[in-house]
Structure 1
């Protein structure tokens, strides 16, 4: 009887061991590779949020050895071009790195797996929603000159004030040329608060006091997730203007360049991890949802990892469409 029990116990143990081993193999095979898959954790809110989402889904859902590498656009693109690492840049603004993108895509080192933000990046001139509701005739950039007295410049009350981006950003030159192109330079002064944090503080102060303000801003961002703002309509974007050139003598009325954002992935990672590559191709979120998640993070002093987990817990209707059902189940269990 003892021998029989022992044989049964050994058989069960062997079966359990086989089941666990085969389960582990299947889990690893979902990734396609045991090699490290490195993800740039970019140093701005949306880029860090996307990076942590990928790390959780790839590690918990696909069983990948997915790691985060701190970085920014310059360091990430330089490393991808030279070494093919990191494997994933979760939020690459292509127009900011045209030379890099042309080179690595021509060499087939890197490709655009997908578009993390459905509408792309958004830049523009914004007014608070309460201003738009109180002044329904103020709809576009071409209407703005008629409303200069609504936005008086404290330093020069004869003109309105249009808040711009921080000095040194590419938008600084672009906005200066836009002001000339739309003939706003005769009715508005341009003013930069000096930093993105100071610009945020200026907008929040105006919002809390329900004061009129017109300002440059961009999305996805925490601020637009918290404070409803309306983008002034612009004419279509015109290709080939000199609006980005500080020496431009004939700027043209034009919208901001389209904010093309891609999930940049090394072709080596795609080849060795086809399952995760399909997920990265499917990954895309509406701009407003991203801004709302970043606003939640700001309100709760949450880390990018916390924000990613919160998104996965509260937006299953979005992310479960990116992955097979078994991968989704493992992600949920991992949370």
Structure 2
């Protein structure tokens, strides 16, 4: 998930997490039958021929590969079709290419952006081909986490300065004589190795190989009530199954971010917190009628997003069925979005 993953651009302290490459970000590829951090989409082949078409009651939504983004689109699609009478097309495309597609009118809306300041400057401020669509209502954050059962037993583990005290408890065959910090895919843009080095921690970053594999490992640790330390992010449905507590890293600062942008190996602060945003093609924002008005008003909580995400990823419902169930259960939420 390139969430400035800073989700997959990833939320990495000083670097962008093109999310859950998050988003790291970012939804579990195997669980979603999608790949996190997929290659740039060929928009000439995947874009809808109806996107931005004059007079067409059709909306084209960009879908990123993590499950939270899929949940947003599924609910928006259901309501646009069932309540407002639109036909909705979806296009799966990575975060940065999505900005290009949005600018060119190949898609009408992007419902979850983790922060791409260069694209915002180019398309929103300079070219004015993209318009801000408002806050999604969900705040994205990457960090290091331990299971709640371990934090309850050892409250001081939630301060990074005490992590070395527990390094021997967190060793694995993969980490050798050091504690293990579990990461997902090696392709994720994270600050974890730099943080371990610069904070002089007795830990080794170990990659599970993918987000799906990381989830499997976390769930196995939890089943056996073993302690673990992992890179993770929110919103993410797994918190519903495995409660985790964040380890407080040194505070993220703009100075740290600026230094890290110049030299990623120098990062010694935690990850930022990112209010997730929506963006619309500028012409669609002006002329998209009830569909554009609805998408601007679409705003929910991380609990709502996680509810739909868990139905998709853990309970194996199709996105359409998950959205239908959520809509049935929460009319008091979505009715306020209708124009």
TM-score, structure 2 as length reference = 0.76
Cα deviation for residue 155 of structure 1 reads 4.7
Q: In 2, Cα distance between the equivalents of 1:41 and 1:111? A: 18
Change (3 A) 1:195 1:287: same
In our comparison, the structure showing a higher alpha carbon Rg is: 1
Would the aligned equivalents of 1:178 and 1:243 in 2 still touch at CA under 8 Å? no
Would the aligned equivalents of 1:225 and 1:293 in 2 still touch at CA under 8 Å? no
Matched, 1:276 2:296: no
Q: In 1, Cα distance between the equivalents of 2:214 and 2:107? A: 32
Matched, 1:257 2:272: yes
- Quote the residue 1:58 is aligned against: 80
Cα deviation for residue 128 of structure 1 reads 0.9
**Partner residue of 2:69 out of 47, 50, 65:** 47
- Quote the residue 1:112 is aligned against: 132
Would the aligned equivalents of 2:175 and 2:206 in 1 still touch at CA under 8 Å? no
- Quote the residue 2:173 is aligned against: 154
Matched, 1:126 2:142: no
**Partner residue of 1:180 out of 197, 200, 225:** 197
Change (3 A) 1:156 1:176: closer
- Quote the residue 1:192 is aligned against: 207
Change (3 A) 1:183 1:317: farther
Q: In 2, Cα distance between the equivalents of 1:279 and 1:303? A: 23
- Quote the residue 2:186 is aligned against: 167
- 1:86-97 to 2 correspondence within 5 Å? 86-95=107-116
CA distances 1:267-324 after superposition (whole Å, capped 9, x unpaired) = 2112113433333233222223322321222332111111111111122232223235
Cα deviation for residue 130 of structure 1 reads 0.8
Cα deviation for residue 246 of structure 1 reads 9.1
Q: In 1, Cα distance between the equivalents of 2:219 and 2:311? A: 16
Cα deviation for residue 243 of structure 1 reads 6.5
**Partner residue of 2:222 out of 188, 192, 207:** 207
**Partner residue of 2:304 out of 289, 293, 297:** 289
Would the aligned equivalents of 2:67 and 2:313 in 1 still touch at CA under 8 Å? no
Number of residue pairs aligned between Structure 1 and Structure 2? 284
Would the aligned equivalents of 1:42 and 1:51 in 2 still touch at CA under 8 Å? no
Would the aligned equivalents of 1:111 and 1:264 in 2 still touch at CA under 8 Å? yes
- Aligned to 2:300, the other structure's residue is in SS state coil
Would the aligned equivalents of 1:226 and 1:295 in 2 still touch at CA under 8 Å? no
Q: In 2, Cα distance between the equivalents of 1:293 and 1:33? A: 32
Q: In 2, Cα distance between the equivalents of 1:313 and 1:49? A: 15
Cα deviation for residue 113 of structure 1 reads 0.9
Q: In 1, Cα distance between the equivalents of 2:132 and 2:330? A: 25
Would the aligned equivalents of 2:143 and 2:231 in 1 still touch at CA under 8 Å? yes
TM-score, structure 1 as length reference = 0.77
> Alignment RMSD, CA only?
2.4
CA distances 1:13-69 after superposition (whole Å, capped 9, x unpaired) = xxxxxxxxxxxxxxxxxxx95443211233321112211211222222223343223
Runs of 4+ in structure 1 off by over 4 angstroms are 242-249
Change (3 A) 1:39 1:302: same
Structure in which a larger fraction of residues adopt helix: 1
Q: In 2, Cα distance between the equivalents of 1:143 and 1:274? A: 55
